[in-house]
Protein backbone atom coordinates (compact mmCIF):
# COMPACT_ATOMS: atom_id res chain seq x y z
CA UNK A 1 0.00 0.00 0.00
CA UNK A 2 1.42 3.38 -1.02
CA UNK A 3 1.65 6.21 1.44
CA UNK A 4 0.58 9.68 0.46
CA UNK A 5 4.14 10.94 0.60
CA UNK A 6 5.32 8.66 -2.21
CA UNK A 7 2.20 8.15 -4.34
CA UNK A 8 2.89 9.75 -7.73
CA UNK A 9 -0.83 9.73 -8.56
CA UNK A 10 -0.21 7.96 -11.86
CA UNK A 11 -2.67 5.11 -11.36
CA UNK A 12 -5.06 4.86 -14.29
CA UNK A 13 -3.31 7.52 -16.36
CA UNK A 14 -2.45 6.73 -19.97
CA UNK A 15 1.23 7.00 -20.85
CA UNK A 16 2.96 6.65 -24.22
CA UNK A 17 6.68 5.87 -24.16
CA UNK A 18 8.72 5.79 -27.37
CA UNK A 19 11.89 3.76 -27.77
CA UNK A 20 10.63 1.56 -24.96
CA UNK A 21 12.15 -1.83 -25.77
CA UNK A 22 15.46 -1.31 -23.97
CA UNK A 23 17.63 1.08 -22.01
CA UNK A 24 16.07 4.25 -20.65
CA UNK A 25 12.76 3.70 -22.43
CA UNK A 26 12.37 0.24 -20.95
CA UNK A 27 13.12 1.55 -17.47
CA UNK A 28 10.55 4.32 -17.95
CA UNK A 29 7.87 1.93 -19.22
CA UNK A 30 8.45 -0.44 -16.31
CA UNK A 31 8.40 2.38 -13.75
CA UNK A 32 5.19 3.97 -15.04
CA UNK A 33 3.52 0.56 -15.22
CA UNK A 34 4.58 -0.19 -11.64
CA UNK A 35 2.99 3.12 -10.60
CA UNK A 36 -0.32 1.94 -12.07
CA UNK A 37 -0.33 3.78 -15.40
CA UNK A 38 -1.66 2.26 -18.60
CA UNK A 39 1.52 2.18 -20.68
CA UNK A 40 1.69 2.08 -24.46
CA UNK A 41 5.23 1.31 -25.59
CA UNK A 42 6.53 2.09 -29.07
CA UNK A 43 9.55 0.39 -30.62
CA UNK A 44 10.42 -1.68 -33.63
CA UNK A 45 10.25 -4.94 -31.70
CA UNK A 46 8.90 -6.03 -28.33
CA UNK A 47 11.45 -7.42 -25.91
CA UNK A 48 10.70 -9.98 -23.24
CA UNK A 49 11.70 -7.39 -20.62
CA UNK A 50 8.55 -5.31 -21.13
CA UNK A 51 5.91 -6.10 -18.49
CA UNK A 52 3.02 -8.17 -19.80
CA UNK A 53 0.49 -5.43 -19.05
CA UNK A 54 2.29 -2.93 -21.29
CA UNK A 55 0.69 -2.51 -24.72
CA UNK A 56 3.34 -2.65 -27.42
CA UNK A 57 2.98 -0.89 -30.78
CA UNK A 58 5.55 -2.13 -33.32
CA UNK A 59 6.66 0.91 -35.31
CA UNK A 60 9.75 2.40 -36.91
CA UNK A 61 9.81 5.99 -35.71
CA UNK A 62 11.78 6.97 -38.80
CA UNK A 63 8.41 6.62 -40.55
CA UNK A 64 6.68 10.04 -40.47
CA UNK A 65 3.29 8.36 -39.86
CA UNK A 66 4.47 6.24 -36.93
CA UNK A 67 4.18 8.72 -34.02
CA UNK A 68 0.56 9.60 -34.83
CA UNK A 69 -0.24 5.90 -35.15
CA UNK A 70 1.13 5.23 -31.67
CA UNK A 71 -0.83 8.09 -30.12
CA UNK A 72 -4.01 6.98 -31.92
CA UNK A 73 -3.52 3.42 -30.65
CA UNK A 74 -3.29 4.69 -27.06
CA UNK A 75 -6.45 6.73 -27.50
CA UNK A 76 -8.34 3.81 -29.04
CA UNK A 77 -7.22 1.41 -26.33
CA UNK A 78 -7.59 3.63 -23.26
CA UNK A 79 -9.67 6.63 -24.30
CA UNK A 80 -7.00 9.30 -24.43
CA UNK A 81 -3.43 10.25 -23.55
CA UNK A 82 -2.22 11.87 -20.32
CA UNK A 83 1.54 11.38 -20.55
CA UNK A 84 3.96 11.34 -23.47
CA UNK A 85 7.59 10.38 -22.98
CA UNK A 86 9.62 11.09 -26.10
CA UNK A 87 12.51 8.80 -25.31
CA UNK A 88 13.37 7.43 -28.76
CA UNK A 89 16.68 8.84 -29.90
CA UNK A 90 20.38 8.27 -30.17
CA UNK A 91 21.88 6.64 -33.24
CA UNK A 92 19.30 6.11 -35.98
CA UNK A 93 18.85 2.47 -37.04
CA UNK A 94 22.08 1.17 -38.59
CA UNK A 95 24.23 4.04 -37.25
CA UNK A 96 27.02 3.70 -34.70
CA UNK A 97 28.08 6.54 -32.43
CA UNK A 98 30.35 8.17 -31.43
CA UNK A 99 31.15 9.83 -34.73
CA UNK A 100 34.05 12.23 -34.78
CA UNK A 101 34.53 15.49 -36.66
CA UNK A 102 32.20 18.02 -38.25
CA UNK A 103 33.07 16.91 -41.78
CA UNK A 104 32.29 13.23 -41.14
CA UNK A 105 28.47 13.21 -41.36
CA UNK A 106 26.99 14.11 -44.74
CA UNK A 107 23.55 15.44 -45.61
CA UNK A 108 21.90 12.03 -45.36
CA UNK A 109 23.45 11.51 -41.92
CA UNK A 110 22.14 14.86 -40.71
CA UNK A 111 18.68 14.17 -42.10
CA UNK A 112 18.49 10.75 -40.43
CA UNK A 113 19.71 12.13 -37.11
CA UNK A 114 17.10 14.90 -37.07
CA UNK A 115 14.39 12.52 -38.26
CA UNK A 116 14.97 10.20 -35.34
CA UNK A 117 15.88 12.61 -32.56
CA UNK A 118 13.76 15.66 -33.37
CA UNK A 119 11.03 15.08 -35.93
CA UNK A 120 9.69 11.89 -34.34
CA UNK A 121 9.23 13.78 -31.06
CA UNK A 122 7.67 16.79 -32.80
CA UNK A 123 5.19 14.51 -34.58
CA UNK A 124 4.31 12.69 -31.35
CA UNK A 125 3.69 15.97 -29.56
CA UNK A 126 1.61 17.27 -32.44
CA UNK A 127 -0.60 14.18 -32.19
CA UNK A 128 -0.77 14.11 -28.38
CA UNK A 129 -1.46 17.76 -27.58
CA UNK A 130 -5.07 17.84 -28.90
CA UNK A 131 -5.92 14.70 -26.94
CA UNK A 132 -4.37 16.13 -23.77
CA UNK A 133 -6.36 19.33 -24.21
CA UNK A 134 -9.55 17.27 -24.38
CA UNK A 135 -8.68 15.79 -20.97
CA UNK A 136 -7.81 19.14 -19.43
CA UNK A 137 -4.04 18.78 -19.59
CA UNK A 138 -1.18 16.35 -19.49
CA UNK A 139 2.55 15.93 -19.17
CA UNK A 140 5.18 15.64 -21.90
CA UNK A 141 8.74 14.62 -21.04
CA UNK A 142 11.40 14.82 -23.73
CA UNK A 143 14.56 12.81 -23.16
CA UNK A 144 17.42 14.91 -24.50
CA UNK A 145 21.15 14.78 -23.77
CA UNK A 146 23.82 16.70 -21.94
CA UNK A 147 25.46 16.98 -25.36
CA UNK A 148 22.77 19.49 -26.34
CA UNK A 149 24.37 21.96 -23.94
CA UNK A 150 27.97 20.84 -24.39
CA UNK A 151 28.89 21.26 -28.10
CA UNK A 152 31.96 19.29 -29.12
CA UNK A 153 33.55 17.95 -32.32
CA UNK A 154 31.99 14.56 -31.60
CA UNK A 155 28.40 13.62 -32.52
CA UNK A 156 27.86 17.13 -33.86
CA UNK A 157 24.64 16.22 -35.67
CA UNK A 158 23.22 14.35 -32.67
CA UNK A 159 23.97 17.19 -30.27
CA UNK A 160 22.40 19.71 -32.66
CA UNK A 161 19.21 17.63 -32.94
CA UNK A 162 18.92 17.40 -29.17
CA UNK A 163 19.53 21.14 -28.77
CA UNK A 164 16.65 21.71 -31.21
CA UNK A 165 14.48 19.33 -29.16
CA UNK A 166 15.22 21.38 -26.04
CA UNK A 167 14.12 24.53 -27.83
CA UNK A 168 10.89 23.00 -29.13
CA UNK A 169 10.01 21.63 -25.70
CA UNK A 170 10.49 25.03 -24.10
CA UNK A 171 8.30 26.68 -26.75
CA UNK A 172 5.50 24.12 -26.36
CA UNK A 173 5.63 24.51 -22.58
CA UNK A 174 5.10 28.25 -22.96
CA UNK A 175 2.20 27.87 -25.37
CA UNK A 176 0.26 25.14 -23.60
CA UNK A 177 1.18 25.63 -19.95
CA UNK A 178 -1.84 27.90 -19.41
CA UNK A 179 -4.05 25.12 -20.76
CA UNK A 180 -2.75 22.43 -18.44
CA UNK A 181 -0.02 20.75 -20.49
CA UNK A 182 3.38 20.67 -18.87
CA UNK A 183 6.47 20.03 -21.02
CA UNK A 184 9.82 19.21 -19.44
CA UNK A 185 13.16 17.85 -20.52
CA UNK A 186 15.42 15.26 -18.94
CA UNK A 187 19.05 15.47 -20.03
CA UNK A 188 21.01 12.30 -19.27
CA UNK A 189 24.75 12.13 -19.34
CA UNK A 190 26.48 9.00 -20.66
CA UNK A 191 24.13 6.21 -19.63
CA UNK A 192 24.77 2.48 -19.39
CA UNK A 193 22.61 1.34 -22.30
CA UNK A 194 23.06 -0.70 -25.46
CA UNK A 195 24.50 2.41 -27.09
CA UNK A 196 27.60 1.69 -25.02
CA UNK A 197 27.46 -2.03 -24.38
CA UNK A 198 26.35 -3.62 -27.67
CA UNK A 199 28.86 -5.28 -29.97
CA UNK A 200 30.43 -2.52 -32.03
CA UNK A 201 28.89 0.14 -29.78
CA UNK A 202 30.45 3.24 -28.25
CA UNK A 203 32.60 1.31 -25.78
CA UNK A 204 34.01 -0.83 -28.59
CA UNK A 205 34.71 2.22 -30.76
CA UNK A 206 36.56 3.99 -27.95
CA UNK A 207 38.38 0.80 -26.98
CA UNK A 208 39.73 0.51 -30.51
CA UNK A 209 40.95 4.10 -30.34
CA UNK A 210 42.59 3.74 -26.93
CA UNK A 211 43.92 0.22 -27.35
CA UNK A 212 41.96 -1.01 -24.34
CA UNK A 213 38.89 -3.19 -23.99
CA UNK A 214 35.20 -2.29 -23.87
CA UNK A 215 34.80 -3.22 -20.21
CA UNK A 216 37.61 -0.91 -19.14
CA UNK A 217 36.18 1.90 -21.27
CA UNK A 218 32.79 1.62 -19.53
CA UNK A 219 34.15 1.33 -16.00
CA UNK A 220 37.11 3.69 -16.18
CA UNK A 221 38.12 5.34 -19.44
CA UNK A 222 34.76 6.87 -20.39
CA UNK A 223 34.00 8.32 -16.93
CA UNK A 224 37.51 9.79 -16.84
CA UNK A 225 37.33 11.12 -20.40
CA UNK A 226 33.98 12.80 -19.71
CA UNK A 227 35.07 14.00 -16.27
CA UNK A 228 32.11 12.42 -14.50
CA UNK A 229 32.16 13.51 -10.88
CA UNK A 230 30.50 10.26 -9.81
CA UNK A 231 33.14 8.18 -11.59
CA UNK A 232 30.57 6.00 -13.36
CA UNK A 233 28.00 6.01 -16.14
CA UNK A 234 24.40 6.85 -15.30
CA UNK A 235 21.98 3.96 -14.70
CA UNK A 236 18.78 3.94 -16.82
CA UNK A 237 16.60 3.64 -13.71
CA UNK A 238 17.99 6.93 -12.44
CA UNK A 239 16.60 8.60 -15.55
CA UNK A 240 13.30 6.74 -15.29
CA UNK A 241 12.76 7.92 -11.72
CA UNK A 242 13.05 11.56 -12.82
CA UNK A 243 10.73 10.99 -15.77
CA UNK A 244 8.10 9.46 -13.50
CA UNK A 245 8.27 12.41 -11.14
CA UNK A 246 7.90 14.90 -14.00
CA UNK A 247 4.99 12.92 -15.42
CA UNK A 248 3.26 13.03 -12.06
CA UNK A 249 0.69 15.65 -11.01
CA UNK A 250 2.93 16.12 -7.99
CA UNK A 251 5.19 18.12 -10.34
CA UNK A 252 2.26 20.37 -11.20
CA UNK A 253 4.30 23.59 -11.07
CA UNK A 254 7.24 22.23 -13.03
CA UNK A 255 7.19 23.07 -16.72
CA UNK A 256 9.78 24.25 -19.20
CA UNK A 257 12.48 22.77 -16.96
CA UNK A 258 15.51 20.70 -17.87
CA UNK A 259 16.46 18.04 -15.31
CA UNK A 260 20.14 17.15 -15.74
CA UNK A 261 21.07 13.64 -14.60
CA UNK A 262 24.58 13.20 -15.85
CA UNK A 263 27.00 12.21 -13.10
CA UNK A 264 28.51 15.70 -13.17
CA UNK A 265 29.18 15.81 -16.94
CA UNK A 266 28.02 19.42 -17.35
CA UNK A 267 30.27 21.76 -15.42
CA UNK A 268 28.81 25.21 -16.07
CA UNK A 269 26.38 27.00 -13.74
To 10 degrees, the CA torsion angle through 154, 158, 160, 161? 180
- At residue 17, what are phi and psi to the nearest 5 degrees? -125, 120
Print pLDDT tens along the chain (269 aa): 444 467 999 999 999 999 999 999 999 999 999 999 999 999 999 999 999 999 999 999 999 999 999 999 999 999 999 999 999 999 999 898 889 999 999 999 999 999 999 999 999 999 999 999 999 999 999 999 999 999 889 999 999 999 999 999 999 999 999 999 999 999 999 998 877 888 888 888 888 887 888 888 888 888 898 899 999 999 999 999 999 999 999 999 999 999 999 999 999 88
What residues contact residue 55 under an 8 Å CB cut-off, 6+ apart? Answer: 38, 39, 40, 41, 73, 74, 77
Check if the beta carbon of residue 143 is closer than 8 Å to that of residue 118: no
Mean per-residue pLDDT of the chain? 94
Query: Taking the model in full, what pTM does it have?
Result: 0.93
Could you list the active site residues? 158
d(CA 68, CA 86): 13
d(CA 127, CA 61): 14
d(CA 262, CA 146): 7
pLDDT of residue 5: 62
Q: To which H or E segment does residue 40 belong?
A: strand 38-43
What are the residue ranges spanned by the domains of the chain?
Answer: 14-191+235-261, 192-233
What residues contact residue 221 under an 8 Å CB cut-off, 6+ apart? Answer: 206, 207, 210, 212
d(CA 245, CA 250): 7
d(CA 61, CA 59): 6
CATH of 14-191+235-261, one of 3.40.50.720, 3.90.1150.10, 3.40.50.20, 3.30.390.50: 3.40.50.720
d(CA 187, CA 238): 11
Q: What is the DSSP letter of 97?
A: S
Amino acid sequence: MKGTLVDLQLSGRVAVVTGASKGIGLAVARTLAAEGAHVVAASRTRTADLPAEVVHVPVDLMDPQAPAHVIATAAERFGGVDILVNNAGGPPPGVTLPRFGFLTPGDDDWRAMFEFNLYSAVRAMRAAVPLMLERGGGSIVNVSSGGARQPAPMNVDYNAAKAALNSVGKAVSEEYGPRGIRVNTVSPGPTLTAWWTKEGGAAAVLAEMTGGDAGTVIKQAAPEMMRLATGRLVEPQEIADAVALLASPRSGSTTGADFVIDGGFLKEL
